[in-house]
A = this chain, B = another copy of it.
Amino acid sequence: MDTGDRLLTPGEVAALFRVDPKTVTRWAAAGRIGSIRTPGGHRRFRESEVRALLEGEGVLDDLDGDANRPRNAGPPQNGSHGPTNAGLH
């Protein structure tokens, strides 16, 4: 498939970002990252979205000290794996 709809657990995402799983949960609660809830209440994150977030901002790094850049200027619009909604006939 195109985007690889693999789902990651909070622990996986936390390890990728080097933060605590709790922080990842906060991102999901704040709507900063898409999250899928299991019937049990646990969250799952898209591997493609996490990847876009990881690389969307790591390359453009200014060492000068300019702290005025938008935190979301990346092209993280991977939208494609959506169900297109047209699948229901």
Residue ranges of A at the interface with B (Cβ–Cβ < 8 Å) = 1-2, 6-9, 17-19, 23, 27, 29-34, 36-41, 44, 48, 51, 53-55, 59-63, 67-75, 77-80, 82-85, 87-89
Is the CB–CB distance between B61 and A82 below 8 Å? yes
Is the CB–CB distance between A31 and B89 below 8 Å? no
Which residue of the partner chain B has the closest CB to A44?
B18
- Report the minimal beta-carbon distance from A56 to chain B, rounded to whole angstroms: 8
Say which residue of B41, B51, B53, B75 sits within 8 Å of A83 (CB atoms).
B51
Q: Given the known inter-chain contacts A18-B8, A70-B72, please indicate yes or no for A40 contacting B60, CB distance below 8 A.
A: no
9 nearest A-B residue pairs (beta carbon):
A61-B82, A31-B73, A41-B87, A7-B18, A67-B77, A32-B39, A61-B79, A27-B39, A18-B44
